[in-house]
Amino acid sequence: MHEEEFQTGKIYCANCFHCKLLPGIESDVLRIRCTAGKWKKRLGQEKVYKFCTITRRFSDGCEDYEDMGESTEFIRELRKSINEDTSHTPS
């Protein structure tokens, strides 16, 4: 995702205190969940996202949102670290 695609005025889930890495998954793909329980499937089950897609997930508002810092900088650094991690992973 390019820098100009950052949506100002939006709440990025990756920048929230409740956005956590899901432990214990036996996979090469890291998964993220919302510990506040805000991500649900249609039938009410918890939804999880891939680590690489969480930087694009945003909302107009969330009553449980607790930011981890300035969103633009946080998301920029997270994207950079994801790109570095994927470039070192053997295909």
Query: What pLDDT score was predicted for residue 70?
Result: 82
Residue appearing with tokens 């009553």: 63
pLDDT average per 10 residues of sequence, the chain (91 residues): 60 89 74 92 92 83 88 80 64 49
Judge if pTM exceeds 0.85: no
pLDDT of residue 88: 56
Please give the pLDDT value at position 38: 92
Look at residues 53, 61, 64 and name the one whose alpha carbon lies nearest to residue 14. 53
